[in-house]
Amino acid sequence: MAKKLFVKTYGCQMNVYDSDRMADVLAPHGYESSDTPEGADLVILNTCHIREKATEKVYSELGRLRALKDEAARQGRRMLIGVAGCVAQAEGEEIARRAPVVDLVFGPQTYHRLPELLVRALERDALGGARVVDTDFPAEAKFDHLPEAAGHRGATAFLSVQEGCDKFCTFCVVPYTRGAEFSRPAADVLAEARRLVAGGSAEITLLGQNVNAYHGIGPHGATWGLGRLIRALADIPGLQRLRYTTSHPRDVDDELIAAHREVPALMPYLHLPVQSGSDRLLTAMNRKHTAEFYRRIVDRLRDARPDLALSSDFIVGFPGETDQDFADTLRLVREVGFAQAYTFKYSARPGTPAADMGDAVPEPVKADRLSALQQLIGAQQVAFNKAAIGSVQPVLFERRGARPGQLIGRGPWMQSVHADAPDRLLGHVVPVRIIDGHANSLSGAVVTIAGPEPAPPAIERVTA
Ligand code: SAH
Ligand code: SF4
Ligand code: F3S
pLDDT (average), residues 41-55: 96
Read off the pLDDT band of 458 (50, 70, 90). Answer: very low
Instruction: Please tell me the pTM assigned to this model.
Output: 0.94
Ligand 2 contact, 174 CB (< 6 A): yes
Q: How many CA atoms lie within 13 A of 150 on its CB side?
A: 16
**Residue 459: predicted pLDDT:** 42
Testing ligand 3's pocket by substitution, the residue of 49, 158, 172, 315 carrying the most ligand atoms inside 8 A of its CB is 49
> Which of the two residues, 105 and 152, has the higher pLDDT score?
105
pLDDT (average), residues 326-335: 98
**Residue 149: predicted pLDDT:** 76
What whole-number percentage of the chain has pLDDT above 90? 87
Read off the pLDDT band of 449 (50, 70, 90). Answer: low
Distance 426 CA to ligand 1 centre (A): 33
**Residue 129: predicted pLDDT:** 78
Read off the pLDDT band of 461 (50, 70, 90). Answer: very low
Name all domains of the chain by residue range, CATH numbers in brackets. 3-134 (3.40.50.12160), 148-267 (3.30.750.210), 392-446 (2.40.50.140)
Distance 404 CA to ligand 3 centre (A): 35
Q: How far apart are CA 370 and CA 367, in angstroms?
A: 5
Number of C-beta neighbours around residue 56 at 10 A: 11
Q: Which of 10, 71, 70, 81 is nearest to 41 (CA)?
A: 81
Distance 247 CA to ligand 2 centre (A): 9
Residues 78, 15, 137, 86, Cα dihedral to 10°:
-80
Read off the pLDDT band of 150 (50, 70, 90). Answer: confident
Q: Are strands 406-410 and 416-420 parallel, antiparallel or unpaired?
A: antiparallel
Distance 89 CA to ligand 3 centre (A): 11
**Residue 452: predicted pLDDT:** 54
Ligand 3 contact, 246 CB (< 6 A): no
245 within 8 A of 271, measured Cβ to Cβ: yes
Is it the case that residue 224 has pLDDT exceeding 50?
yes
Q: How far apart are CA 47 and CA 18, in angstroms?
A: 11
Atom of ligand 3 nearest to the CA of 47: 6
Read off the pLDDT band of 131 (50, 70, 90). Answer: confident
Which residues neighbour 101 within 8 Å (Cβ) at sequence distance 6 or greater? 62, 65, 66, 69, 81
**Residue 314: predicted pLDDT:** 98
Question: 67: helix, coil or strand?
Answer: helix
Which residues neighbour 186 within 8 Å (Cβ) at sequence distance 6 or greater? 216, 217, 218, 219, 224, 228, 229, 232
Is it the case that residue 464 has pLDDT exceeding 60?
no
Read off the pLDDT band of 453 (50, 70, 90). Answer: low
Q: How far apart are CA 361 and CA 321, in angstroms?
A: 7
Testing ligand 2's pocket by substitution, the residue of 14, 168, 251, 315 carrying the most ligand atoms inside 8 A of its CB is 168
Q: How far apart are CA 116 and CA 125, in angstroms?
A: 14
Name the closest ligand to CA 51: 1
The DSSP call for residue 287 is -
Testing ligand 1's pocket by substitution, the residue of 50, 55, 270 carrying the most ligand atoms inside 8 A of its CB is 50
Read off the pLDDT band of 160 (50, 70, 90). Answer: very high
Name the closest ligand to CA 286: 2
Q: Which of 231, 145, 237 is nearest to 186 (CA)?
A: 231
The closest residue, in CA terms, to atom 7 on ligand 3 is 174
**Residue 451: predicted pLDDT:** 54
pLDDT (average), residues 123-144: 82
Ligand 1 contact, 245 CB (< 6 A): no
Q: 343 forms bridges with which residues in the sheet?
A: 314
